[in-house]
Amino acid sequence: MINPLHDCIINKNTTNNPIWFMRQAGRYLPEFQKIRKLNPNFINLCLNQNLASEITLQPLRRFDLSAAIIFSDILMVPYALDQKVNFKKNFGPELEDFNIKNLIEFNKKEFIEKLKPIYNCIKKTKSNNLLRNKNLIGFIGAPWTLLVYMINKKSPKKEISKNFFNNKDLINNILKVLDKFLKIHVENQINNGADIIQIFDSWAGLLDEKDLYKYVYNPTLSIVNFIKKKNVPVICFPRGIKNYKNYIECVKPDAICIDYEVDPLLIKKEITIPVQGGLNPNILLSDKENVKKEALKYLDIFKDHPYIFNLGHGVLPETNPMMIDYLVKFVNDY
Ligand code: CP3
């Protein structure tokens, strides 16, 4: 039997809508909170292969989802390149300085060694019975989004500072390093059992159209081509981008994940490749009638289009797991 996301992305099957959620393994689940409380260091938790595997599987123990996404973070790559990353409560990630010479010369073996627990976690998770006939999604941050974190050293607000682009040499060097190590990271995830890759470009929306070619389209295309050569489908999530059609023409992903500010009708009209996501995660904080109405909107619009049900961003920590349960059953019965 072919896995549900492959059936949608490769076979373009429209009779079923596979369903999974970004941040499906996370703080809205009491069983996650329980583990998290005992493991205050988030990076170390991501590097604990047994716990990371268990957390990856937690949502699948509760809900009939089509896929698991490996419990990890896009910032594990700067971490593995020796840029220190801390996750502060109610603040988000905070990165320390890095040495560009060290980055350029960074040893491939050492990088893989540092991230070995992630690859072991993927291998272990893949063989779990809960994943029979389901997909295991691996992921990376897009070069642009990682560049933002590495230079800005924390999540940007609504814009990046004017002097962000001051040192062009530095930026070009970081992009080169990221191209190399993101490919290594993706390759190891695939070799250990990830059968779909999602590329998160959370800060793509911060750039003007004219800058997208250099920082988003070209660097992402390089990685997309690398993944395609491995025969693994790649889903791109360029959050906040205005022109999805142009993005798809330039980057050529196998499927596109849309955020909640995009008009799904326009997407349906303009885009021929499989689509994922869209529903505003805030809707899950309202009532069942509203969840049903909003989910139906996406299901109806994309009923003759290969469509993977998901949200337009991650599950919010305040979400009641009962609401996820309701939504999964609703979509699976549609
Ligand atoms: O279930 C899953 O989706 C898989 C695991 C996953 C995490 N982060 C775990 C996590 C994935 C795919 C990510 C991606 C990620 N990480 C992105 C891209 C998606 C997006 O949110 O735009 C980004 C930008 C990051 C960086 C990051 N990690 C931030 C900004 C934060 C703090 C904000 C927040 O949501 O807490 C994190 C921490 C993080 N990553 C948590 C989880 C479960 C929360 C950690 C905790 O405090 O328990």
Q: Which domains does the chain have, with CATH numbers?
A: 4-333 (3.20.20.210)
Closest by alpha carbon to 57, among 24, 30, 22, 35? 24
Closest by alpha carbon to 274, among 257, 260, 259, 255? 255
Read off the pTM. 0.97
Atom of ligand 1 nearest to the CA of 155: 30
Please state, as a whole number, how many other Cβ atoms lie within 10 Å of the Cβ of residue 138.
24
| Ligand 1 touching residue 155 (CB < 6 A) | yes
Question: Is residue 106 classed exposed, middle or buried when 0-12, 13-18 and 19+ CB atoms within 10 A define those classes?
Answer: middle
Say how many Å lie between the CA of residue 260 and the centre of ligand 1.
18
Say how many Å lie between the CA of residue 73 and the centre of ligand 1.
6
- Per-residue pLDDT tens, the chain, 334 aa: give them: 689 999 999 999 999 999 999 999 999 999 999 999 999 999 999 999 999 999 999 999 999 999 999 999 999 999 999 999 999 888 899 999 999 999 999 999 999 999 999 999 999 999 999 999 999 999 999 999 999 999 999 999 888 888 899 999 999 999 999 999 999 999 999 999 999 999 999 999 999 999 999 999 999 999 999 999 999 999 999 999 999 999 999 999 999 999 999 999 999 999 999 999 999 999 999 999 999 999 999 999 999 999 999 999 999 999 999 999 999 999 999 9
**Cα gap 282→280, rounded to integer Å:** 5
Atom of ligand 1 nearest to the CA of 198: 12
Say how many Å lie between the CA of residue 245 and the centre of ligand 1.
27
Atom of ligand 1 nearest to the CA of 200: 18
- Three-state SS for 241-281 is CCCHHHHHHHHCCCEEEECCCCCHHHHHHHCCCCEEECECH
- The position carrying tokens 């299901």 is 299
Say how many Å lie between the CA of residue 239 and the centre of ligand 1.
14
Closest by alpha carbon to 28, among 333, 328, 314? 314
| Ligand 1 touching residue 25 (CB < 6 A) | yes
SS3 assignment, position 27: coil
Helix axes 218-229, 244-251, angle to 10 degrees: 50
Residue pair 254/7 in contact (Cβ under 8 Å)? The answer is no
Residue pair 59/21 in contact (Cβ under 8 Å)? The answer is yes
pLDDT, tens digit, 9 for 90 and up, residues 247-299: 999 999 999 999 999 999 999 999 999 999 999 999 999 999 999 999 999 99
Average pLDDT score over the chain: 97
| Ligand 1 touching residue 200 (CB < 6 A) | yes
pLDDT, tens digit, 9 for 90 and up, residues 97-129: 999 999 999 999 999 999 999 999 999 999 999
Say how many Å lie between the CA of residue 22 and the centre of ligand 1.
9
| Ligand 1 touching residue 71 (CB < 6 A) | yes
